Amino acid sequence: MRTVLLASLRTHTRRYVAAAVAVVIGVAFVVVTGMLSASARSGMTASVGVPYAGADVVVTGLDGPDARDLVRDAAGRGDRAAVIGSTAERARVGGRLLPDNVTVGAVADDERLQWQEVREGRLPAAPSEVAVDVNAAKTDRVGLGDTVRLGAGDRTVEAEVVGLVDTPSAAPGTDFLLTFADLETFVDGLWVTSVVYAGPGADSVQDRTDGDVVAAADHVQAVQADVTRGVDVLAAMLLVFAAIALFVSVLVIANTFTILFAQRARDFALLRCVGATREQVLRSVRLEALALAVVASVTGVVAGTALGALVIAVVRRSVDDDVLGSAMPSARWYVAALATGLVVTLVAAWLPTRRATAADPLSALRPHDVDVRTTAGRVRVALGVVALAGGCALLALAMASHEVVPMLAGGIVSFSGLLLLGPVLVPAAVRLAGALASRLAGTPGRIATGNAVRNPRRTAATTASLLVGVTLTTAVLIGLASSRHTVEEEMDQQYPVDLTMTSDTPLPDDLLGDVRATSGVVDAVALPGTTARIVGQGPVTLLAAPRGTTGVLRGDAGVASPGPGEVWLPDGLLTEWPANGRVTLEVEGRTRTLSLNTGEGWGPAAVVAPATLAALTDASTPRAVWARADDGADAEDLAGDLDALAVPAGAELVSSLGERGWVDTQLDVLTATVVGLLGIAVVIALIGIGNTLGLSVLERGRENALLRALGLTRRQLRATLAVEGLLLSLVATVVGVVVGAAYAWVALRTMVDVLTDDAAMVLPWWQLALVVVVAGLAGLASSVLPTRRAVRTAPAAGLGMD
């Protein structure tokens, strides 16, 4: 039997290529994931300990003032302490306002606690000196000797850039580094990661602080564990996509085996006639599958290792960072990847091999073609109906209860039902589409439809793989588009005004006209105001939102039309929330006590109704201009242009465009990543379609020859196969898009409805159309190779084919 096994492997190698490619891609995916996570883990944990190198203990759980007190206390005792933390501040380089807030931190005062690597210049040693992170320096175009102004209002620090530094990726780096003395300016808003402490007093730190004191080594270990967990979560998420790709591989491989064995039924039967027992044949084909599994899995591991190394090399080269270490994944990853490949292939081959060896010896004696027609079994249909109904019930339950678990279970069960019902549903859909194809493509269209539906189980299996990919892609696209919609609405609430210029002195009258004339500005309004005092707090610029303010705002922010007796203050302006929820404003002796609302996104000013302002002062002057940007406007350019107007007018510009752009970019990246990862499964599915077509062509050699003999031209034969490929891929895609949309709707009702009242489902028409078009083209492309083979065979040779 070994001779037979080896000979079959030799003979059928080419027909196994598609199945092997599917396994290779899946296994390589797992290996690359393992390599990336191992390398990320080593790269990130390696640098985690850097900031704590010189410390004896690490204190966490402190706020800014506490941290400052501890540092001062340490200095008083002759110990060393430094704050690792950051605050987000506005920054101006030269006169230029940076579009986004920057992060600001401090270097340790004592050299032994300094850990940043200096690339150029030196670390700040005295007040009014600042160092800049090399990456931030690049994006913000800051160089040595530049003057930087950080902060806004009365909390600003002006400093000269004395150095460029690099921070290890996993360490808490900031864009700008001041001395701690300068950072104390922002101590109220300082986000303290930890305070590192060294010296004889380290043992008694716990007595002097409310924070948690941990030995430095233990802290590093804890942080490393955190990072590792983060990387592991990421790896697990990647593996979900790998699992999807592998599931699609199972479908493709099982289909390949089924078709191949159907074609070789006569070989098997002949073997049985000359004395092979059923077990011998079964063992032989299983060994064949095992050989394929081994070769494909090993190839996958090798390919994955090469690809992983390439990705790591590219990342380390292009990103000036040591995010990725050089560590290789543990042997367990490789074993797991290899085992996955083996199991996937063998599982996929199990049923087809069983079916193949059930062949009865007599069939070898039949001179006719092996009948490859199959139908959907009744058991299968019954199971499918039950699964579909049960899954839908679970989905309904999920929507009612807003629980994720029944949603996932319902999704999986109902989709399984759908796949089981494939042999009934898919041919029906193909027939429907085929009616159109026949009208458009004539005879080839009719033949193609007939070919596509003659073996319902094979057709269903072929389309199932693509269906999985398209359904998931569609659901993700719709889900992300809908979340984007929701997020945008939220952003409108959070950042109601794109750009504001606010001043504590009257603004020139022509400023509004200049702002309106700036390219990228859609509309702008000037807000009258005055300088007021919040009783018990301090001065604030008071603005009145006139009628028409709504026009320049996004969404229906309350700040655009404060009610009588209401005032809107920026978050964080009040250090303490008044007990009765009311504040008193005073302008030159006139006071008004107003109910307090807070929010952000309109600059450093209090906003009241025009009537309230009028009651407080008779002499209001223009104090602010609010502008709305064009949706396509470049955030940085526009902020720069308006800043050029604001600075001479003595106004402070605040732009929320950067934040908006950032969120947009995040969503774009997320969409691209998920679609890209799902794309792998789709590619495997398309290889599967090409494979089915190719094998069907082999099988139908005689038929195609007969058609050619009867007068079908080469072009028509080519069209027949192209239409068949197109029918299969389009039916799978259209069904997938519809089903995916349904799942997205369920997910939205289940998960997002809880968070917001109206989670509207947004259909990204262009993206969905793109999915259909790409799948259609890929279906056409998958017919190219089989077509070449089919038309090359001369009719006479084809008729004589065995």
Partner 1 sequence: MTTTTPSHPVPAAAAGHPGTAATARGLTRVHGRGDAAVHALRGVDLDLPAGRFTAVMGPSGSGKSTLMHCLAGLDTPTSGIVEVAGRALAGMDDTALTLFRREHVGFVFQAFNLLPMLSAGQNIVLPLELAGRRLTGSVKERHDLVVDVLGLRDRLGHRPAELSGGQQQRVAIARALVTEPAIVFADEPTGNLDSAASAEVLGFLRRSVRELGQTVVMVTHELDAAAYADDVVVLADGAVRRHLVDPTADELVAALRGEQVR
Q: How far is the CB of 35 from partner 1 (least distance, A)?
A: 39
Candidates 166-174, 196-204, 363-371, 473-481 — which segment interacts with partner 1 by CB under 8 A?
A: 363-371
Q: How many CA atoms lie within 13 A of 526 on its CB side?
A: 20
Q: How far is the CB of 699 from partner 1 (least distance, A)?
A: 15
CB closer to partner 1, 56 vs 267: 267
List Cβ neighbours of 93 (8 Å cut-off, separation of 6 or more): 140, 141, 142, 146, 147, 148
Lookup result for tokens 């604030």: 540
- The one-character DSSP state at 264 is T
Q: How far is the CB of 275 from partner 1 (least distance, A)?
A: 3
What is the pairing mode between strands 566-570 and 590-599? parallel
CA–CA separation, 386 and 552 (whole Å): 55
Which of positions 366-405 make contact with partner 1 (CB under 8 A)?
A: 367
Q: How far is the CB of 361 from partner 1 (least distance, A)?
A: 5
List Cβ neighbours of 305 (8 Å cut-off, separation of 6 or more): 31, 35
CB closer to partner 1, 273 vs 432: 273
CB closer to partner 1, 13 vs 139: 13
CA–CA separation, 144 and 131 (whole Å): 9
Are 3 and 285 spatial neighbours (Cβ–Cβ below 8 Å)?
no
Candidates 360-368, 584-592, 736-744, 749-757 — which segment interacts with partner 1 by CB under 8 A?
A: 360-368
CB closer to partner 1, 56 vs 699: 699
CB closer to partner 1, 264 vs 749: 264
Are 574 and 583 spatial neighbours (Cβ–Cβ below 8 Å)?
yes
For residue 75, CA distances in Å to 79, 81, 179, 213 come to 6, 7, 14, 18
CB closer to partner 1, 513 vs 800: 800
Q: Does 362 engage in binding with partner 1 (CB under 8 A)?
A: yes
CB closer to partner 1, 284 vs 720: 284
Q: Does 538 engage in binding with partner 1 (CB under 8 A)?
A: no
CB closer to partner 1, 282 vs 647: 282
Q: How far is the CB of 360 from partner 1 (least distance, A)?
A: 8
Residue among 452, 473, 476 nearest 463 (CA): 452
Query: How far, rounded to the nearest angstrom, does the alpha carbon of residue 487 sit from its chain's CA centroid?
Result: 15
CB closer to partner 1, 8 vs 462: 8
Given 230, 361, 506, 546, the residue binding partner 1 (CB under 8 A)? 361
x/- mask, partner 1, residues 8-47, rule CB under 8 A, reads x-xxx-----------------------------------
CB closer to partner 1, 571 vs 802: 802
CA–CA separation, 547 and 603 (whole Å): 19
Q: How far is the CB of 169 from partner 1 (least distance, A)?
A: 56
Residue 131 DSSP SS3: strand
| Interface with partner 1: number of residues (CB under 8 A) | 28
CB closer to partner 1, 133 vs 267: 267
Lookup result for tokens 């593996």: 239
Q: How far is the CB of 357 from partner 1 (least distance, A)?
A: 11
Given 339, 365, 382, 770, the residue binding partner 1 (CB under 8 A)? 365
CA–CA separation, 755 and 758 (whole Å): 9
* Residues written for the chain: 802
Neighbouring CB atoms inside 10 A of 711's CB total: 8
CB closer to partner 1, 280 vs 597: 280
Q: How far is the CB of 7 from partner 1 (least distance, A)?
A: 4
CA–CA separation, 174 and 83 (whole Å): 12
Three-state DSSP string of 526-537: EEEEEEEEECCC
Candidates 2-10, 129-137, 300-308, 405-413 — which segment interacts with partner 1 by CB under 8 A?
A: 2-10
Are 626 and 525 spatial neighbours (Cβ–Cβ below 8 Å)?
yes
Given 82, 254, 344, 364, the residue binding partner 1 (CB under 8 A)? 364
Q: How far is the CB of 789 from partner 1 (least distance, A)?
A: 17
CA–CA separation, 344 and 253 (whole Å): 9
Which of positions 246-285 make contact with partner 1 (CB under 8 A)?
A: 266-267, 270-280
CA–CA separation, 14 and 260 (whole Å): 11
Q: How far is the CB of 697 from partner 1 (least distance, A)?
A: 18
589, two tokens:
């002796």
Lookup result for tokens 């998958």: 782
Q: How far is the CB of 3 from partner 1 (least distance, A)?
A: 5
List Cβ neighbours of 297 (8 Å cut-off, separation of 6 or more): 23, 27, 337, 338, 340, 341, 342, 345
x/- mask, partner 1, residues 312-351, rule CB under 8 A, reads ----------------------------------------
Q: How far is the CB of 284 from partner 1 (least distance, A)?
A: 10
Instruction: Please report, as ranges, the residues that interact with partner 1 according to CB under 8 A.
Output: 1-4, 7-8, 10-12, 266-267, 270-280, 361-362, 364-365, 367, 802
